[in-house]
């Protein structure tokens, strides 16, 4: 049975129950979110394909956004930051943080899918580049820059959801429902939407 998702913490706790990838560390033992960085870019590509190329149904597009949200969450956790703190870092620090998805849902313009999809690609691409260079060169990861890019990606992801007449609460719930079903059926590993 799937968890009811209301807050950022609800989503993070439920999502991280399905985290199965191997940990990679740098020379200094610091976590390098290599797998989330690679996977997030792949999921963004799938989302963009479903929106602009194959024009799949809205729910399929929202589910791809859920996959992107999962990898942003995993990367932030690997970097020692909660999803709620990542959200808080990216938007309107003068607002009181209530921890609920609904707080953020109305803060984006609903018609700018191109703008938000490009932003999602740019910020996750920049994040991936930072991780790649630290891994390749065996140098310390610029965690602060990574978290900044992830927070901007989260903001863009929110805009994409809003452009689909949705919000991150729905995206998160769809993602957890899908992952819970896969976990219960023992098919978290593997590939394909029809697991």
What digits encode the pLDDT tens for the residues 91-109? 544 333 444 555 444 444 4
The helix (H) or strand (E) run that includes residue 14 is: helix 8-15
Q: What is the pLDDT of residue 195?
A: 44
Q: What is the pLDDT of residue 120?
A: 96
Reported as a single tens digit per residue, the pLDDT across 172-192 is: 999 999 988 877 776 665 555
Exposure class string for 24-45: b at 16+ Cβ within 10 A, else e: eebeeebbbbbbbbebbbebbe
Residues of the chain with pLDDT under 50: 92-99, 103-110, 195
Q: What is the pLDDT of residue 96?
A: 38
CA separation for the pair 58, 117 (Å, rounded): 15
Q: What is the pLDDT of residue 8?
A: 87
Between the alpha carbon of residue 63 and those of residues 10, 60, 95, 161, 178, the distances in Å are 18, 5, 29, 10, 8
Residue at 195 is within a domain: no
Residue at 2 is within a domain: no
Mean pLDDT of the chain: 85
Backbone angles phi, psi at 48, to 5 degrees: -60, -40
Residue at 190 is within a domain: no
Q: What is the pLDDT of residue 131?
A: 97
Residue at 193 is within a domain: no
Residue at 192 is within a domain: no
Q: What is the pLDDT of residue 133?
A: 96
Whose tokens are 């999921």? That residue is: 43
Residue at 31 is within a domain: yes
Q: Residue 180: which domain range?
A: 8-185
Q: What is the pLDDT of residue 94?
A: 32
Exposure class string for 65-98: b at 16+ Cβ within 10 A, else e: bbbbbbbbbbbbbbbebebbebbbbbbeeeeeee
Residue at 108 is within a domain: yes
Q: What is the pLDDT of residue 194?
A: 56
Q: What is the pLDDT of residue 112?
A: 80
Residue at 171 is within a domain: yes
Structural domain tally of the chain?
Answer: 1
Instruction: Give the closest residue to 155 by CA, choosing from 108, 113, 118.
Output: 108
């Amino acid at each position: 049975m799937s968890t009811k998702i209301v807050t950022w913490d609800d989503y993070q706790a439920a999502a991280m129950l399905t985290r199965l990838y191997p940990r990679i560390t740098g020379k200094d033992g610091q976590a390098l979110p290599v797998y989330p960085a690679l996977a997030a870019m792949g999921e963004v590509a799938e989302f963009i394909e479903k929106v602009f190329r194959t024009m799949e149904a809205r729910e399929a597009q929202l589910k791809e956004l859920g996959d992107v949200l999962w990898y942003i969450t995993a990367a932030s956790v690997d970097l020692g930051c909660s999803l709620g703190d990542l959200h808080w870092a990216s938007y309107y620090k003068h607002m009181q943080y209530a921890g609920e998805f609904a707080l953020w849902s109305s803060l984006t313009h609903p018609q700018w899918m191109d703008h938000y999809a490009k932003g999602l690609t740019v910020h996750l691409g920049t994040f991936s580049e930072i991780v790649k260079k630290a891994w390749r060169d065996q140098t310390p990861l610029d965690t602060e820059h990574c978290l900044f890019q992830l927070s901007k990606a989260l903001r863009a992801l929110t805009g994409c959801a809003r452009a689909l007449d949705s919000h991150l609460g729905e995206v998160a719930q769809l993602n957890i429902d899908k992952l819970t079903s896969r976990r219960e059926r023992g098919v978290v590993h593997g590939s394909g939407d029809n697991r």
